[in-house]
Structure 1
């Protein structure tokens, strides 16, 4: 690593913090102008975090597999397996046993994917789609077989749902976010600040309270997986071997790396993380397994992984973005999404200004390439301004967003984010390639 790249990495964190602070100020301004208090309320933030965790865990599974060079489209199927097995074990032996069995269920799906792609050389996409179909069909069959017994029916089970599962305990910081401590009813300092609806102060209080009130223990485990994954994959010899298999497996093989073993380990881990995300849904989010409970979160997790450029911090950011838009759908409804139209319009104006500034800077490359870069920057600025104008017209001419569009917001966000982030992505070089031991390219 050069000295220049090291300096850039050190400067990146202050810029990120400044950008986050700017977005918070803008969001607070929009909330104050529109009166849509749910935009930054603690309930919305808590719901966003809860909805983001299964997306993040599915995306984390995709990150492990693709860093080893195996595309894992089967995250949704592995997540379904984790959800079903977690519910089956959870209602009988408690939520933590359900979590462990859910991890094993997802890992089993990962093992099937590894056998198909690594050992038999099946196309990764074909195998992933087969895992999704298998997960859906197998869980429906098992539900009809095991959730319709007399014992399960007595507890509320049926052909398409499990008996209720006890939820994992939650954590609340006393004094700051309320709750009880040894029978003592704690004050709620952040909640008091939030209820005043002051500019910025109440927004910060609402966000902090959403992060510190009623957080599931499993959510805390998921948050800790961000630095843990970074340390394992980027700071250990094991992680280096995993990533080398995704960049150039034949070069890794020439250096003594057992590529097949590394790929198996990464893909089984991938399934385990997806299974953990599925188990989260029945032990920390809902109380029963039902058909369709995952709701495509495996696919959205894959999109969050791509948005995060195959890195855990970026994946976490993308997951929070998708979780937030989903929380807007669940809690805020049309009014909050309508307020976000103004927020996005102002952001697009900022993007247009930034692109225009870029077009006037001294060129980094000479000649025709510099002219092309200027034209592209100006074109991007024009598109952003047109989109901002359209959103502003929409905002001022309507009072709310139709319910059909509100429910589609998370999926629309997925498409827009992937389209906007596609220019800066860099996937592992050998991602999706069929590897054969001892063969040259």
Structure 2
């Protein structure tokens, strides 16, 4: 029996609604692309760049998901990603590409271990510990780069290049056909073909691993006894303790995995998004990963969807002459918000619907009033979008009940 057939009617209805919303989003994007004549919205190059930008955010978001599902808030994702960038560069330079991936996992897990010791064993406030790890991670990476990279070929006190990176694959036939259909710029069909071309042309093996980890996370956390016990630690650790669950052990495992995932995100930045290492390479993506976890409602598929959205905004900001493209995205965002406002208003949340509609109208007026968006603004796009979507979606979010709360064995609930 398939999973879909065995799912409750409410779950099947939710999945059907999700598919309809996804189709509506694709149609809206295609309409805006045709109306604005901004073909770069859905070219294979743009979508491939968006995917590359999304993967580090996705891995950081999955890392945050593992920790928070066990009841630990991991604000230190940024610092753990930074440690991962150095680990990837150092081990890849000396031992090869996949040794670099393992090195990044170990360095990120080391940052997770520090966070676990501080928060789980000593009861330090999770936010304070995470901020301290971010600061310490930045300083540690700067010191390690200066110590180990200065005398290497292609190295310096703040950078390193010339190391091995994971291979890329292109699926012959599918890639060529999708690229051809994409070049025709047909309504909807070419936009879907561009997405296919983007994921079948020069696709890094590390990208495949990142997406596979979404499915693995969903299966482990929601389909195994281990995942059930781990999630119980984030919902009601006292009840889990009474059932014989070693809460401390599960929290430690979750935070170590969280740090390792963040470190893998750092490896992606140093080995796929760029072919060289520089200090401070994350540029706030650990925080955006945390936002993708929250906007994804602490769910792996939600984290994937929100990461792709943030990655698209991040990728667009990296394009040269991106002002006209961001201008077209203003129209797209205003239409999406108008639809969201209508759903909220018809669903009985009239105040929220009206507020969101006013924001959508303001964006539409901005779109009509200017021909392009200043370059200085486009660099802010990912961060403004992060604040915006969290503000809009905050009412539907539900974090694990015990996330961020101190726990001591034997205490009353």
Normalised-by-shorter TM-score class? over 0.9
- 1:316, 1:389 → 2: CA distance? 29
Q: What SS is found at the alignment partner of 1:289?
A: strand
- 2:331, 2:140 → 1: CA distance? 45
Instruction: Note the alpha carbon deviations across 1:100-120, whole angstroms, 9 max, x for none.
Output: 011000001111111111111
Q: Is the 8 A contact 2:145 2:279 kept in 1?
A: no
Q: Does 1:289 align with 2:289?
A: no
- 2:186, 2:267 → 1: CA distance? 39
Instruction: Note the alpha carbon deviations across 1:360-415, whole angstroms, 9 max, x for none.
Output: xxxxxxxxxxxxxx4xx333333233223222222122111111111100001100
Provide the TM-score with structure 2 as the length reference: 0.96
- 2:223, 2:275 → 1: CA distance? 38
Q: Does 1:437 align with 2:379?
A: no
Q: Is the 8 A contact 1:143 1:159 kept in 2?
A: yes
- 2:73, 2:353 → 1: CA distance? 35
2:110 matched residue in structure 1? 108
Higher deviation after alignment, 162-171 or 404-413 = 162-171
Q: Does 1:243 align with 2:245?
A: no
2:4 matched residue in structure 1? none
2:397 equivalent among 420, 425, 434: 425
Instruction: Note the alpha carbon deviations across 1:226-248, whole angstroms, 9 max, x for none.
Output: 11111101111111111111111
- 1:388, 1:433 → 2: CA distance? 37
CA RMSD of superposed structures (Å)? 1.6
- 2:157, 2:345 → 1: CA distance? 59
Q: Is the 8 A contact 2:235 2:403 kept in 1?
A: yes
Give 1:298 deviation, angstroms.
0.7
Q: Does 1:225 align with 2:227?
A: no
1:46 equivalent among 45, 48, 52: 48
2:3 matched residue in structure 1? none
1:170 matched residue in structure 2? 168
1:20 matched residue in structure 2? 22
Give 1:271 deviation, angstroms.
0.6
Instruction: Note the alpha carbon deviations across 1:55-111, whole angstroms, 9 max, x for none.
Output: 111111111111111111111111111110110111111111100011000001111
2:296 equivalent among 282, 285, 308: 308
Q: Does 1:6 align with 2:8?
A: yes
Aligned residue pairs, count: 408
Q: Does 1:195 align with 2:193?
A: no
Change (3 A) 1:440 1:384: closer
Instruction: Note the alpha carbon deviations across 1:150-185, whole angstroms, 9 max, x for none.
Output: xx0xx11111112322221111110121xxxxxxxx
Q: Does 1:396 align with 2:363?
A: no
Q: Which structure has the larger Rg?
A: 1
2:254 equivalent among 266, 272, 277: 266
- 2:328, 2:196 → 1: CA distance? 21
Q: Does 1:387 align with 2:359?
A: yes
Q: Is the 8 A contact 2:112 2:260 kept in 1?
A: yes
Q: Is the 8 A contact 2:356 2:392 kept in 1?
A: no
Q: Is the 8 A contact 2:92 2:165 kept in 1?
A: no
Change (3 A) 1:378 1:260: closer
- 2:341, 2:130 → 1: CA distance? 39
Change (3 A) 1:353 1:309: closer
Q: Does 1:340 align with 2:332?
A: no
1:79 matched residue in structure 2? 81
Change (3 A) 1:352 1:68: closer
Instruction: Note the alpha carbon deviations across 1:296-336, whole angstroms, 9 max, x for none.
Output: 11111000000111110101111001001111112261111
- 2:60, 2:338 → 1: CA distance? 34
Moved over 6 A (4+): none
1:369 matched residue in structure 2? none
Give 1:250 deviation, angstroms.
1.2
- 1:400, 1:430 → 2: CA distance? 46
Change (3 A) 1:264 1:330: same
Give 1:357 deviation, angstroms.
2.9
Q: What SS is found at the alignment partner of 1:426?
A: coil
Provide the TM-score with structure 1 as the length reference: 0.90
* Correspondence list, 1:65-214, <5 A: 65-149=67-151, 152=152, 155-177=153-175, 188-214=176-202
Unmatched runs of 5 consecutive residues or more in structure 2 = 1-6
Q: Does 1:411 align with 2:383?
A: yes
Q: Is the 8 A contact 1:171 1:213 kept in 2?
A: yes
- 1:432, 1:245 → 2: CA distance? 11
